[in-house]
Structure 1
């Protein structure tokens, strides 16, 4: 399960960075924050 969450978090963060480069600042920041909240490392909403 942790591996799947890690993959989802990586995809979300990469999509957020790509959105920032396209000029979609708000969407990019939201995707990065959600990716960090889902990921098993650091802060995760699933570890609480």
Structure 2
């Protein structure tokens, strides 16, 4: 592989890793907010 091609592959892999970490943080925060505010939502959830 050429140096440019390898750099592109490395950048794509790094971008995917960053995106995965970002999604994990968002999911953790979503769960934290749900736990914190779930008692307020009980009357609004469909049965």
Q: Which has the larger radius of gyration?
A: 2
More RCO (CA 8 Å, sep 6+): 1
Structure with more helix by fraction: 2
- Length-normalised TM-score, structure 1: 0.48
- Length-normalised TM-score, structure 2: 0.49
